[in-house]
Amino acid sequence: MFIVFVCKKAIGEFDLLLVLRICLFVVLRKFRVIPSHEAMKRLVLRASVQYAKEPYMKDLLLRLLAYENIGVLRIIDRYRKKGYYVVLSTAAPAAYADLIAKHFCFDYVCATSMAVEQSDWHENVKEEKMRATVHLLDKIDARLAIFLTDHDDDLPLLRIPKDANIIVNPTSKTLEKLEQERIVYRLLPK
């Protein structure tokens, strides 16, 4: 959604060179010339940094709110009222993940850094997401107690022993991987 949003904004501002660059990155990724999603994401974030500023990201947030899941929000609210910390850990760029976390009153956010020029930059996904999330929890002297996800990319976090794994709108591929790994979970009813 970030890529589509940036392209629409760039078209609106007649920044067609940026649109062509992003489309080229996507095509090169599809043909495996760009070797990973992470490498493509880094290129896209680097190229579109001018659109990752707060006024644009607030506009993106408004568009993303159309996809909010009331069931997830109820679970988050229930655990918040019980005194749990609520952490948003996502592969999304921090430029809008921070706004989402603020909008929904998350205590902390762990997202993909916008500092793509750093040599140690990584997308906040899979093992990296697990390491970053566990590091954050260690810093605040907390443990992972309840974990909600919709994607099998989160298997490293799903494997951590905790009170509950809650799966939201999973694909059949995600359910298959959970069964293969014998991960205990419950489905959030639709």
Per-residue pLDDT at 189: 85
CA distance 67 to 77: 18
- What are the pLDDT digits (tens) for 52-71? 999 999 999 999 999 999 99
Question: Which CA distances in Å does 62 have to 70, 110, 169, 176?
Answer: 16, 20, 22, 34
pLDDT reading at 184 higher than 90: yes
Structure pTM? Answer: 0.92
- What are the pLDDT digits (tens) for 134-171? 999 999 999 999 999 999 999 999 999 999 999 999 99
Per-residue pLDDT at 121: 96
- What are the pLDDT digits (tens) for 71-130? 999 999 999 999 999 999 999 999 999 999 999 999 999 999 999 999 999 999 999 999
> Residue 88 region, left (φ>0) first, then alpha (ψ -120 to 50), else beta?
beta
Residue with tokens 């107690």: 145
Per-residue pLDDT at 25: 98
Per-residue pLDDT at 190: 76
Per-residue pLDDT at 151: 95
